[in-house]
A and B are shown apart, each in its own frame.
Chain A
Amino acid sequence: SQTIHQWPATLVQPVGSPLSLECTVEGTSNPNLYWYRQAAGRGLQLLFYSVGIGQISSEVPQNLSASRPQDRQFILSSKKLLLSDSGFYLCAWSPRGGDTEAFFGQGTRLTVV
């Protein structure tokens, strides 16, 4: 069966520090991969999605970047965090093609102080 791992679960970082969140998927090949952010009391905002290694699409201009160095690995990064980067970050995957749903990792709760 397929599983998705995301870590760390919680993170407190000072303003201006770098960020690296990692997500890996097991049990499938060529997944579509997504990074979402959910601010407190708000909906899910799509940040990035990827259809293959090295292929990243950005949905919103921001202080963040994403990379996909391997087929089942998706990394969210920032060189310098802002207070507004605080939120609940969720990685998700869906099978390539088709009208299928997405499956989420357990999320990382980031607080920038």
Chain B
Amino acid sequence: GAVVSQHPSWVICKSGTSVKIECRSLDFQATTMFWYRQFPKQSLMLMATSNEGSKATYEQGVEKDKFLINHASLTLSTLTVTSAHPEDSSFYICSALGTSDHTDTQYFGPGTRLTVL
């Protein structure tokens, strides 16, 4: 199956700092990428939909100025958590939707565990 990578796999930062998470589709082009957040023992909650070359669409309740998303190419999307606070500590997962052979399937990255002290 298609491969999606995320970097870093985990990060610990101080409150008030910004953290950037990268999501890459390694063997296919993704016009659309999604960012999810997952708290312990809970399911994945969609944060935003990112389309290559356009602004991201955020779900209700997700602050777009706090969670900056950039989808500059067909293989890379980034999520920047600005001025992170302890309540932002979570497991962030991206998924990518293919453009050709994988048009109907979303593939997920391995996730990034963020801990804000």
Indicate, yes or no, whether A interacts with B: no
